[in-house]
Amino acid sequence: MAQPVNGFSKLSKQDKINWLATNHFQNKEAGISILEQYWNNDAKLQALHDEFIENTVSNFYLPLGIAPNFLINGKYHTIPMALEESSVVAAAGKAAKFWQDRGGFKTSVLGSEKIGQVHFMYTGDTDKLKNFFNQIKPTLLKATEEITRNMRKRGGGISNIELRNKTEALDYYFQLHCTFETLDAMGANFINSCLETIAKTFKEEAQHYADFTSEEKNVEIVMSILSNYVPNCVVKAEVSCPIEDLNDDKGLSGQAFAEKFIRAIDIANAEPHRAVTHNKGIMNGIDAVVLATGNDFRAIEAGVHAYAAKDGSYKSLTHARIENGIFYFWIEVPLALGTVGGLTSLHPLVKLSLEILNHPSAKDLMQVVAVAGLAQNFAAVRSLITDGIQKGHMKMHLTNILNQLGATKEEKEYFVNFYKDKTVTHSGVINEFDRIRTNNG
């Protein structure tokens, strides 16, 4: 059972580990050894990792994989992917290979607007609030000039501030809805700094506004924070080909494959239980690239799933249709990403991942990430409507099962050959493993 501890953050790294070992590890020496095993041998590099977050005791590794052969807008890309789930990188690579002979992926950025809000309560006359806002809007923008100077020099900054009446949703609730262009930066710190300055200025100006009563002058600023829901920071990725070019799928004609594929998408639009898993598969591809490039995958997840429910029910992020004998498959997805600042300039593997992608701009990265999600979804749906998802997934998972069993190199080679024409199951692997171990003494 965990025990409370005072001043944990002030302990040295070694003292934190010793406390963990004493209070949580059955085998203290083994637990400490595992933590230290994942430290980087380069002390300077380890110190860098230690300072990314608080109370660091070790590093938690994820594999960094590579999915090559992505033809995007006529140029080949090699995509880095960081994640732990079996078959994702292989599926992405397989989809890339499939579409490189059919024109590749086409992408376009539909918008790059980001959002932040000042949330406040006001109990007075709404018309007076509107007049006040219209008068002080230039003052609010001027107050942020020091913060936005460098961003404005590069073509970004605050694009607009709106007063929004939200009292139908919550009594006395209003907001200053602010939109931003942050160029190649994700821009979280920039946006939040602007918002806090806007909020402070708004409150100060309200206290000196002659038309407000004493009660109306006491505007209550509740909070100032960016939003991870960015419906106007959207990218589109698509593939298309003549229906007859789809005819290499397990006995299905191109027409039958296209129709069945579209029905699978229609089901994800009609049934939220299916849509969640459908979109989770898309996020397998998206999150892996977002993580590899040092971006905030939690923010992306939250914004993407909100976007999937923007029409009132949770639906598929991808779409498909047949038109004039052509099969079209596409995704439109909000992605607020950055290629400068944060971990992009600190984490060595993040910097290397961006180098693999040829040092993309934020808009370039949006397009690559959207393609990874579309490719992953194509591979998943293609498997579901033909062989089923488990055949390919479990073959990739076979190595994990064998590692859990402590298989030797020779035993792994045996099982790869054994399952060439069989479906992998966890119990089947264990039974066969026990059999050959027994027979080999």
Contact status, residue 333 vs residue 255, Cβ threshold 8 Å: no
Question: In which band, very low, low, confident or very high, does the pLDDT at 423 lie, cut at 50, 70 and 90?
Answer: confident
pLDDT at 435: 81
pLDDT tens string 93-150: 999 999 999 999 999 999 999 999 999 999 999 999 999 999 999 999 999 999 999 9
Contact 113, 179 (CB under 8 A): yes
Per-residue confidence (pLDDT) for residue 426, from 0 to 100: 77
The answer to whether residue 377 scores a pLDDT higher than 90 is yes
The whole-number average pLDDT for the span 235-243 is: 98
Tokens 């918008």, residue located = 111
Point out the least confidently predicted range of 7-11, 101-105, 184-188, 248-252: 248-252
User: In one letter, which amino acid is 351?
Assistant: K
pLDDT of residue 30: 96
CATH node for 74-110+235-386: 3.90.770.10
Distance between CA atoms of 132 and 125, rounded to whole angstroms?
Answer: 11
Are 255 and 313 contacting, i.e. CB atoms less than 8 angstroms apart? Answer: no
| Cβ burial, residue 320 (10 Å; 0-12/13-18/19+) | buried
- Span 321-357, pLDDT tens digits: 999 999 999 999 999 999 998 888 899 999 999 999 9
Average pLDDT for 19-43? 95
* Mean pLDDT confidence for 221-239: 98
Q: Residue 391: its pLDDT value, please?
A: 59
Q: Above 90 in pLDDT, residue 208?
A: yes
Q: Which residues are catalytic?
A: 85, 280, 296, 393
Q: What pLDDT was estimated at residue 365? A: 98
DSSP designation for 252: B
- Please state which of the four CATH numbers 3.30.70.420, 3.40.50.80, 3.40.50.720, 3.40.50.261 is assigned to the domain occupying 114-227: 3.30.70.420
String of DSSP letters for 39-50 = S-SSHHHHHHHH
> What tokens does 18 get?
């010793």
